[in-house]
Amino acid sequence: MLFMGTLGMLVLTIGLILFIIFHQRKVIRYQLRLQQMEQEQQKILLNASIRLQEEERQRLAADLHDDAGPLLATARLYLNENLVNQDKATQLQSIFQARQILDDTIQLIRNISHSLMPPTLKNFGLESAVNDLFQKISGSGTINASSRFHEYKDRLKPEKELIVFRVVQELINNILKHSNSSFIHLTQNNHNGSFLLRVHHDGRGIVQTDFEKLNKSNVGLGLKNISSRLRVAHGNILFEKDASQTYYKITVEIPRDDQYETLTISS
């Protein structure tokens, strides 16, 4: 009995110590795997943001090269050295044509500049910029778009406004491209000190699991862009289907408080 008791106690104690060692090793391995997955996810997001930046640069280069370049070259043709030798009527006509072309170029460059940084957002804030965007979409006549800000007396910080605006742009872009919906409706509220945006549409959409899957894959550049922007603002996004199963609902939540004062953004 004495021997068995001693043996039993020893087995129990050593078993317990071994169990704790193996359990802890298992937990550490699991944590390492999680860390690795997070690093991979960050790498994907970084790649996506670099790719997006490159695409944006290419678009900008194409706009300048293909549109502004030929227009300016044409204007230069109208204003060549021979113009002084021509009669007054031809001179006037040439100058008029050149001016017309320069006006077009100015408008083109303005459009490019607006697409980079909407002036409404800078001057009048997120509410006006979003309303403006939705009016433009609605004005095209193909889709019914409306937006309503309920509690936006206290504006977000400019850098956060820009993030939200880019996210909304990306979401709307995706809806227009893929959903085939007949309406988009955006509402803004506050909830527990957070800024809340909800976008509803009646087309084809995605739910949270699809979003997470796309976020981890190599496709879905726009969604990764949304993720990385929201990460900067410490925000969240939720893709879900409405309770009635008729609409898709996207909720964006961003904390309003100033604990992320040192926010640095490169848009």
Q: Which is nearer to another protein, 14 or 46 (CB)?
A: 14
Nearer to another protein, 24 or 113 (CB): 24
Which residues of the chain form contacts with another protein (CB under 8 A)?
2-3, 5-6, 9-10, 12-14, 16-17, 20-21, 23-25, 27-28, 31
Q: CA torsion angle for 124, 263, 168, 171 (degrees, to 10)? A: 170
User: Considering the complex, what minimum distance in angstroms separates the CB of residue 10 from another protein?
Assistant: 5
For the chain, what's the residue count?
267
As measured in angstroms, the least distance from the Cβ of 67 to another protein is 55
20 or 77: CB nearest another protein: 20
Cβ at position 16, least distance to another protein in Å: 7
Task: Give whichever of 16 and 50 is closer to another protein, judged by the CB atom.
Answer: 16
Closest of 65, 139, 75, 73 to residue 109, by C-alpha: 65
What's the CA gap between 49 and 222, in Å, rounded? 9
The minimum distance between CB 255 and another protein, in angstroms, equals 26
Least distance (Å) from another protein to the CB of residue 31? 6
What is the CB-side half-sphere exposure of residue 243 using CA atoms within 13 A? 0
Burial class (CB in 10 A: 0-12, 13-18, 19+), 170: middle
Q: Which is nearer to another protein, 28 or 265 (CB)?
A: 28
Are 255 and 236 in contact by the 8 Å Cβ rule? The answer is no
Tokens at residue 41, please? 């996810």
d(C-alpha 187, C-alpha 199), whole Å = 7
Q: Which is nearer to another protein, 19 or 96 (CB)?
A: 19
What are the φ/ψ torsions at residue 246 (nearest 5 degrees)?
-105, -35
Shortest Cβ 14–another protein spacing (Å): 7
String of DSSP letters for 210-231 = HHHHHHHSS--HHHHHHHHHHH
